[in-house]
Amino acid sequence: MTLTRRTFVSATAGGAALLAAGCGDDEEKPRGGTSGGDLDVVNYALTLEFLEEDFYEAVVSSGVLSGREAELAEKILDNESEHVLALSSVAKDLGKPVGRPATDFDSVLSGGRDRVIRVAADLEGTGAGAYLAEAAKITSDEILASALAIHTVEARHASILNLLAGRSPVPDGAFATPIERGEVQRRIERFLV
C-alpha cells in the first residue's frame, strides 16, 4: 500500500483520530519557517527512526534482553518499523527520502542488559525531544498531527525504559523540553559509522 500524506496520519498512533477531528481540507497553513520545508523535517525524523529501528533490531537479535524486557524491545521495534514505513512514504511523496545511515551498536550490546536499557531510554527521550523541537517548523497540519502522534509514542517508550533503568518514569517538569538538531547529533553520533 502506498501511503500519502493523508494516509500517513492514519498509519501513525492516534493520527486517524486527529485527522478526523481537525482536518477538513488539504490547505497548508504557514507556521514557523524552515529552510528545507516539511521534506527536511520528515527526512530528519526518518533518520532518527532508522537509527532507533537499527538499535532495536540489534537488541532483539542479540538476545541481551530476556523475558518481558525482550518482548518490550520487540514491541518497540514494531513501532519504530511502522514509523520508518510511514515517514519513508511521506518523504517519497514530498520529494525524496533520505538514505538509511550506517549504525553500530556493538559497544552498547557488549555492556549487557543495564547499558542496553539506559541507551534505549536515552535514545527514546532524544527522539521525543527532537520531534518537539521540529514541530514549529512543519507547515502541513497533517504532517504536524502525525509528528505529534509519533512524539507521544517516543515519550511513552522513554517512560517505560526509564522505569526499567531505575530512573523516574515521570518527567522533571510539566512541560517537555525540545532538543535541537545540534544536541541530537551530539547524542547520536557515536552510533553512526
| pTM: predicted TM-score of the whole model, two decimal places | 0.82
- Between CA 104 and CA 101 the distance in angstroms is 10
161 phi/psi in degrees, rounded to 5: -70, -35
Residue 98 pLDDT level (bands cut at 50, 70, 90): very high
- pLDDT tens digits for range 49-67: 999 999 999 999 999 999 9
pLDDT tens, residue by residue, 110-124: 999 999 999 999 999
How far apart CA 84 and CA 128 sit, in angstroms, is 15
Distances in Å between the Cα of 76 and the Cα atoms of 6, 57, 73, 161 are 24, 10, 5, 10
Res. 146: pLDDT tops 50: yes
Architecture (CATH level 2) of domain 34-191: Up-down Bundle (1.20)
